[in-house]
Structure 1
Amino acid sequence: MPEGHSIHRLARQFADCFVGQALSVSSPQGRFADGAAVLDGAVLEGARAHGKQLFLDFAGDRVLRSHLGLYGAWSFGGTDRFRGASSIGAPRRIGEREVHDHAAPAGPLLPPAPVGAVRVRLVGDEGWADLRGPALCVLEDSAEAEAARARLGPDPLDRHADPAPFVAAVRRSRRPVGALLMDQVVVAGVGNIFRAESLFRRGLDPMMPGRALDEHELRQLWAENAALMRTGVRLGRIVTTDPADRPGIGEAQAWPGHAHLVYKRRGLPCRRCGTPVAAEELEGRSLYWCPSCQR
């Protein structure tokens, strides 16, 4: 599932490439036909992310809210003047690229026929965006969208977010901190990779009950996730290793083989102490940690 950094990259891309334009909106698949009819021709006024949810704000108090889930992705294309990423979301084989690979020739914008089950297609002045496979795609007014956002926990990528609600929610819970980090009502945008890597970097046992952690530890954990996620936004990849963990390998070359400290490294030696990395399922997702570094 795309984690919060990917959705913030999506918001940035929509802001850079489509805000201020009257967009042609359609639903080739048909499952968003009514919403597309309402939005067709409306000006996109803003794009924002909160956790794993994307909010596209259209003129007329209309918001297209989406959640990519496990399989969703936005793909993009356009004229030779369009400089967006080719795809952001679940299809990792496509990747998140700063410059798309298949620009159309110069001249009028001629989007290709939709490929696959395209829930929503947005077409602007120089490019288009196709949404496939989302877990959620709804049309709301601003009050409804704000109510949905308010149900989520604070987002570490929001520089103005107050971590106090996150700290309070964890400290009153008996659930393992490794489970609480994945609960979007507790903290928005942290997924399986950031969970494993941030807990390792803070030396915290993922099975420790939330209530066993003090406020200082939790504020450090919040700051760790914020820093890791900002790096993810910048790189378009989740890279959590430090230079000392990958001697001679630069940050840009770290992904995938040298990008993570414990995630998907079950049985391999810990990069810090050599102990085999452990893994087990926690609330339906594989959790990775070092039994020595995270006592």
Structure 2
Amino acid sequence: MPEGHTLHRLARRQQRLFGGRRVRVTSPQGRFADGAAAVDGMTFHAAEAWGKHLLHRYRDGRTEQMVHIHLGLYGAFTELTAPLPEPVGQVRLRIETEDTGTDLRGPTACEIYHPVDLDALIARLGPDPLRRDADPERAWAAMSRSSRPIGALLMDQKVIAGIGNVYRAEVLFRAGIDPMRPGKRLLRTEFDEMWLDLVALMKVGVRRGRIHVIRPEDDHGAPAYAANRPRTYVYRRAGEPCRICGTPVLLAELEARKLYWCPVCQE
């Protein structure tokens, strides 16, 4: 599932492609036919991300419509250039102008949103480190009174929105925090440093289009866990020596997700 920086980067890209332009919106697959018809011919006003959720805003005079998209595990956009080809496969949503377009396939959600729906979404999400209006106090309040492991809290979208397994593993390593430590034992200074690190790392992800977490002085040695991926400290490196101390990286399952950490550097 894409992490939050991917959605913010996607929102920026779609804003550049469609912002301020009248668009044709269709649902070749048919599963979003009514929603597509509701916004077809309107002006694409804005695209924005809230954690792992993408919102499109369309306007026609004083009328505004919103489309909410959650990519889930399999959702993806494909950009198109004119002349646009005929839709291939299960295209849930197609947005197009005279010279460009995009196809959406396989999302978990693609639906018309009303203001009450947006309010409910924002209410159930924690602060998003990539949004200017993010309030880290909400995340601190949730963590500091919880007995759940910090590693689980970081992946809980109700605590912090947009964090996935890679950022979870890497920010905890960079902070030297044991992912199994209960949230209520996290120091405020540790939380503040971790929050600022998340903001900085995720901004790099938006700019570069990929996660980059290794400090310059550590960016050497063993290759990345997969081709065309940047190096990581612990993510997907179970059994390999820690880049800092040489201790084998551990792997466990925490709330049905794989967890990676160094038992020495993260005491």
TM-score tier, shorter chain, comes to over 0.9
Distance 1:208 1:41 in 2: 52
Unaligned residue ranges in structure 1 (runs of 5+): 79-108
Shift of 1:142: 3.2
2:66 aligned partner, one-letter code: V
Query: Contact 1:238–1:259 at 8 Å: present in 2 too?
Result: no
CA distance in 2, matches of 1:275, 1:267: 9
Q: CA deviation at 1:247?
A: 3.8
Return the match for 1:198 from 151, 171, 175: 171
Mapped partners of 1:186, 1:247: distance in 2: 34
Aligned residues: 260
Q: CA RMSD in A?
A: 1.6
Whether 1:166 aligns to 2:139 is yes
Runs (4+) of structure 1 moved beyond 6 Å? none
Partner amino acid for 1:208?
R
Question: Partner of 1:19 in structure 2?
Answer: 19
- Supply the distance in 1 between the matched residues of 2:122 and 2:71 (Cα, whole angstroms): 15
Q: Which residue of 1 aligns with 2:197?
A: 224
* Aligned pair partner of 1:131 in 87, 98, 104: 104
Q: Secondary structure of the equivalent of 2:181?
A: coil
Unpaired runs of at least 5, structure 2: none
Q: Does 1:65 align with 2:94?
A: no
Give 1:259's aligned residue.
Answer: 231
Output the amino acid matched with 1:77: L
Displacement of 1:14 = 1.1
- For 1:290, the equivalent position in structure 2 comes to 262
2:127 to 148, 154, 157: 154
2:113 to 140, 150, 160: 140
8 A contact 1:23–1:40 mirrored in 2: yes
Q: How does 1:174-193 map to 2 (within 5 A)?
A: 174-193=147-166
Which one is further off, 55-64 or 187-196? Answer: 55-64
Q: Which is further off, 157-166 or 9-18?
A: 157-166
1:207 aligned to 2:210?
Answer: no
User: How many angstroms does 1:255 deviate by?
Assistant: 4.5
Work out whether residues 83 and 99 of structure 2, in 8 Å CA contact, stay in contact via their aligned partners in 1.
no
Q: Give deviations 1:193-238, integer Å, cap 9, x for gaps.
A: 0000000000000001101112221111111111111111111111
1:38 alignment partner in structure 2: 38
CA deviations 1:4-44 (Å, max 9, x no partner) are: 00000011011111011111111111111110111111111
Decide which moves more: 273-282 or 142-151: 142-151
Q: 1:268 to 1:189 in 2, by over 3 A?
A: same
Shift of 1:150: 2.8
One-letter amino acid matched to 2:132: R
- 1:98-109 aligned at under 5 Å gives the runs 109=82
Q: Once the two structures are aligned, what percentage of the paired residues are identical?
A: 51
- Whether the aligned pair in 2 keeps the contact of 1:239 and 1:255 (CA below 8 Å) is no
CA drift of 1:240 comes to: 0.7
Distance 2:158 2:52 in 1: 11
CA distance in 2, matches of 1:148, 1:243: 38
Partner amino acid, structure 1, of 2:195: W
> What amino acid is the match of 1:44?
F
In the alignment, what sits opposite 1:85?
none
Contact 1:72–1:134 (Cα < 8 Å) also in 2: yes
Q: How does 1:233-244 map to 2 (within 5 A)?
A: 233-244=206-217
Q: Which residue of 2 aligns with 1:54?
A: 54
TM normalised by structure 2 equals 0.94
| Residue 149 of structure 1: how far off its partner (Å) | 2.3
Q: What is the aligned partner in structure 1 of residue 242 from structure 2?
A: 270
2:86 pairs with 113, 117, 128, which one?
A: 113
